[in-house]
Amino acid sequence: MPADSVRPFHLPVQRRPFPLAMTKPNVIVFFTDQQRHDTTGAHGNPMGLTPNFDRLARAGTHLYHSFACQPLCGPARASLQTGRFATQTGVFRNEIPLPDDAETMAKVFGRNGYTTAYIGKWHLAGKDPVPRHLRGGYQSWLAANHLEFVSDAYDAILFDDDNNRKKLPGYRVDALTDAAIRFCDNHQKEPFFLFVSFLEPHHQNHVDDYPPPDGYREDLTAKQWTPPDLATLKGTSTWHLGGYYGMVKRLDEAFGRLMDALKSLDMLDNTIVMFTSDHACHFKTRNDEYKRSCHESAVRVPTMITGPGFNAGGQVRALFSTIDIAPTLIDAAEIEIPGSMVGRSIMPVVRDARTPWRQDLFFQISETETGRALRTHRWKYGVTSEYHEDAPRSDVYRECYLYDLDSDPYEMVNLIGMDVFRGLCDDLKKRLLEWIAEVEEGHAPQILDAPVRGSRQYRFRPSDLLELQNRN
């Protein structure tokens, strides 16, 4: 793997000076929590939950292969804000505050004439209310560190600039959306960077449930489509999927309301809007939690961008990571990307699909396990070790996962250890170790081979079919 696969990579871009402040585009991030990519129609969900996401993904730029570099709230959010991997930020598990000297999107936009604002869930301070120095450089604040602990579905509690407790009316998704619309309305005369961070469709921790708006659960359970992994492995999806879908549906409705507000304020043509999520949800099918694994159901998220530079961008199939979000949005505003950010701007690829781009992605996993994983366009290769709370990495990993994503997109058949794939695993192991060395400051762990097992391939014979027919 070439070194530039993780280092900043930016094609020369013709920059133009901004003669007027308002020529700078506004930037909004509509950020959900724990949303699977296959909740959207753009990724094949047949239930019609996300008409606004689907429509704007078609009209703008749909980042089809979008992934969380760490499937856990705090680390993923730290990586998003800084364009760096979890071990590079120091936030390798939950309840580790983002260092107050970290270079963040908010600081970059703020230095370049933007008003910056954060609304919703933060999860990067370790406590509530969040002290000013732990807010990542955001100037305007209406948020909570642990939104899932201080609020409920119909009890939206946040803290303002001065850490005064504020209760917002309505279902929590609607309450945060209303606040975002008010902010846009009040800041029409200067460029702004607004980050709106929802808890939904994350579960409500104290009840271990997914509470949608009243009436949504019953309606969506009745016409529920179940993804193949959940249909087979079940987990908690039998009880929770209807509520989860209800939360997704309301988020999309809120997304549509926000876009309608921008249209009514004549701000659409000058506003970049990204919709994405921190990680996905496997409903306790891969471990005893809802995420914290290398599987697509934990790391793959829906992502689209619309607005200047992204309209009519089409479906982009490059492998896009959380670490790429900050460089992309900064680049879209025609601001120089800080050298501390190891992610890449996707804009050159949006302009020209022939632009060179990485061919694999690197994942770090913590808390349930200490793991590392590699994803190419076709293969998923994962290694794990025992989890230690204070250890961001391990010196010894063992091979645990190999999936052929072309034939098995829901990762139902683990090929690891099969003798016929040993050569492939050796190649993937080498590439994974290159990623680890590059990202983790030269760390060189040992990766133990999985125990060998035969492929046990079975050749189907005509007599087998006859026997099956006789049984039936």
Contact 342, 328 (CB under 8 A): no
Calculate the CA dihedral of residues 78, 80, 86, 91 and round it to 10 degrees.
0
pLDDT of residue 318: 98
79-94 mean pLDDT = 97
CA nearest neighbour of 39 among 230, 215, 187, 265:
230
Same domain, 430 and 288: no
If asked whether residues 401 and 342 sit together in one domain, one would say no
Element of type H or E holding 376? strand 370-376
Q: Over 50: is that where the pLDDT of 11 sits?
A: no
CB within 8 Å of 56: residues ≥ 6 apart: 259, 273, 275, 304, 306
Number of domains in the chain: 2
pLDDT of residue 220: 95
Same domain? 39 vs 136: yes
State the first-to-last Cα distance of the chain, in angstroms, to the nearest integer. Answer: 53
Residues in contact with 101: Cβ distance below 8 Å, sequence separation at least 6, in sequence order = none
Q: Which CATH number belongs to the domain containing residue 414 in this structure? A: 3.30.1120.10
- Choose the final residue of a domain: 306, 325, 351: 351
Within a domain: 356: no
Domain identity same for 95 and 211: yes
380 with 347, same domain?
no
339 and 384 within one domain:
no
pLDDT on residue 470: 53
Please say which residue of 351, 382, 415 terminates a domain.
351
Q: What is the mean pLDDT of residues 290-299?
A: 96
Q: Is residue 392 part of a domain?
A: yes
The identity of residue 465, as a single letter, is L
Residue type, 297: S
Residue 371 has pLDDT above 60, yes or no: yes
Shared-domain flag, residues 198 and 300: yes
Using a pLDDT cut of 70, give the percent of the chain over it: 92
Helix spans in 159-225 (H) = 172-186, 216-222
In a domain, 458, yes or no: no
Query: Stretch 464-471: mean pLDDT, rounded?
Result: 50
Q: Domain end: 318, 351, 384, which one?
A: 351
Average pLDDT over residues 280-306: 96
Does pLDDT of 465 surpass 60?
no
**pLDDT of 5 higher than 70:** no
Residue 11 lies in a domain: no
Segment 145-165, tens digit of pLDDT: 999 999 999 999 999 999 999
The answer to whether residue 332 sits within a structural domain is yes
Query: In the structure encoding, which two tokens stand for residue 188, read together?
Result: 């029409």
Average pLDDT over residues 54-72: 98
- For the cut 60, the answer to whether the pLDDT of residue 174 exceeds it is yes
Give yes or no for residue 3 having a pLDDT over 90. Answer: no
110: domain CATH number is: 3.40.720.10
| Mean predicted confidence (pLDDT) in 385-399 | 94
Q: Is residue 466 part of a domain?
A: no
Task: Looking at the structure, tell me whether residues 299 and 441 fall in a common domain.
Answer: no
Q: Tell me, what's the pLDDT at 425?
A: 98
Give one DSSP letter per residue of 60-91, joined into a string.
SEEEEEEE-SSSSHHHHHHHHHHTS-HHHHT-
Looking at the fold, whether 89 and 141 belong to one and the same domain comes out as yes
Residues 243-254: b if buried by 16+ CB within 10 A, e if exposed: bbbbbbbbbbbb
Given a contact cutoff of 8 angstroms between Cβ atoms, the answer to whether 347 and 340 are in contact is no
User: What's the rounded Cα separation, in Å, for the pair 278 and 405?
Assistant: 22
Q: What is the pLDDT of residue 368?
A: 87
Residue 276 neighbours by CB under 8 Å, 6+ apart: 29, 30, 31, 32, 66, 301, 302, 303, 304, 325
252 and 381 in a common domain: no
Domain assignment present for 435: yes
* Confidence grade of residue 462 (pLDDT, cut at 50, 70, 90): low
**Is the domain of 325 the same as that of 416?**
no
Name the least confident of 162-166, 221-225, 240-244, 468-472.
Answer: 468-472
Q: Look at residue 454 in the predicted model and tell me its pLDDT.
A: 78
Residue 460 pLDDT greater than 50, yes or no: no
278 and 242 within one domain: yes
Name the pTM for this structure. 0.92
- Band (463; pLDDT cuts 50, 70, 90): low
d(CA 422, CA 413): 16
Give CA–CA dist 143/121, Å, rounded: 6
Domain limits for position 324: 20-351
Mode of pairing for the β-strands spanning 26-32 and 271-277: parallel
Cα–Cα distance for residue pair 133/97, rounded to 1 Å: 11
Pairing between strand 61-67 and 304-306? antiparallel
pLDDT band for position 2 (cuts 50, 70, 90): very low
- Name the strand (E) or helix (H) holding 430: helix 422-439
Please provide the average confidence, as pLDDT, over all residues in the chain.
Answer: 92
Residues 200 and 247: beta-carbon distance below 8 Å: yes
Task: Tell me the pLDDT tens digit for each residue of 88-134.
Answer: 999 999 999 999 999 999 999 999 999 999 999 999 998 999 999 99
Taking residues 430-440, what's their average pLDDT? 98
**pLDDT score for 457:** 56
Does pLDDT of 459 surpass 80? no
- Percentage of the chain modeled with pLDDT above 90: 88
CB atoms closer than 10 angstroms to residue 395: 10
pLDDT at 151: 96
- For residue 14, tell me if it sits in a domain: no
